[in-house]
Amino acid sequence: MRLLLINPNTSAAMTARMEQEAAAALAPDVTLTGLTAARGLPYIASRAEAQLAGGAVLETLAEHQAGYDAAVIAAFGDPGLIAARELFDLPVVGMAEAAMLTACLLGQRFGLVTFSGTLLPWYEDAVALSGLSARCACVRAVAAAFRSVAEVQHEFEGEIVALANRAVIEDGADTVILAGAPLTGLAVRVRDAVPVPLIDPLAAALGQAQAVVRLGARPPRAGRFARPPAKPATGLAPALRRWIERDDG
């Protein structure tokens, strides 16, 4: 099984880190290829940035998806998820959606803990989009400003563990999702410091991608996610333009 990991941010270092952390969540017969967005922001933290990153996800998929069994959009908030799922035939999995669905298997209500308050509206939108608001116990963020997004999981490890414990005790969370690609790997490292299952969104997304591929289902030719008919386009990246125009010649 071949999986594609698309980092919608422009940070290649983040892509490399996620590739490395992914290993533990892959079955022996699975390989993973990481790709970094060619344009956009070094990290996404708002709905406006996610709007633009979603376009970059579509461009990346149009250029690289051939030959893969499924793709993971590797930013919590899932920029471009619905659009990508509609446009392409391979299954596309988002880290936020996958983490929340996985959490539903392990408890009634999940808490969401992240490292920056500026992410909250975007992550709240992801909860709403999933239709799982009733199962979300809280969305909490570290109040302080971080110094380096690359190091934030170490810088704020204590604060994040404390918030996860408050999610359990004060908000009634049965599981806690450590949300945000920069926190990848933290869940396993601190799992003994919080008394409920901690969910790493990258691991959850990879788990869901593998589950979906092993189902062996056909891509949709009807319904809300059937590929749209061909249409002329102007001003788009070449591979994306060709895919939308169904210019296969």
Of 19, 52, 159, 162, the one binding a copy of itself by CB under 8 A: 52
Nearest-angstrom CA–CA distance, 163 and 178: 10
- Residue 147: CB minimum distance to a copy of itself, A: 15
Q: Cα separation of 5 and 92, whole Å?
A: 10
Token pair listed for 46: 């708002």
9 binds a copy of itself (CB under 8 A): no
Q: How near is the Cβ of 155 to a copy of itself at its closest, in Å?
A: 18
Q: Cβ(44)–Cβ(53) under 8 Å?
A: yes
Only segment of 13-21, 153-161, 178-186, 230-238 that touches a copy of itself (CB under 8 A): 230-238
Write down the least CB distance from residue 68 to a copy of itself, Å: 16
Q: In what order do the strands lie in the sheet with 70-73?
A: 31-36, 2-7, 70-73, 92-94
Among 33, 104, 166, 239, binds a copy of itself (CB under 8 A): 104
Select the span of 13-21, 94-102, 156-164, 178-186 touching a copy of itself (CB under 8 A). 94-102
CB nearer to a copy of itself: pick between 7 and 130: 130
CB 16 → a copy of itself: shortest distance, Å? 18
Task: Specify the amino acid at residue 182.
Answer: P
Query: Under the criterion CB under 8 A, does residue 10 sit at the interface with a copy of itself?
Result: yes
With CB under 8 A as the contact rule, the residue among 12, 20, 42, 158 that binds a copy of itself is: 42
Sheet holding 136-141, edge to edge: 136-141, 110-114, 175-178, 198-199
Q: Are 188 and 155 within 8 A, CB to CB?
A: no
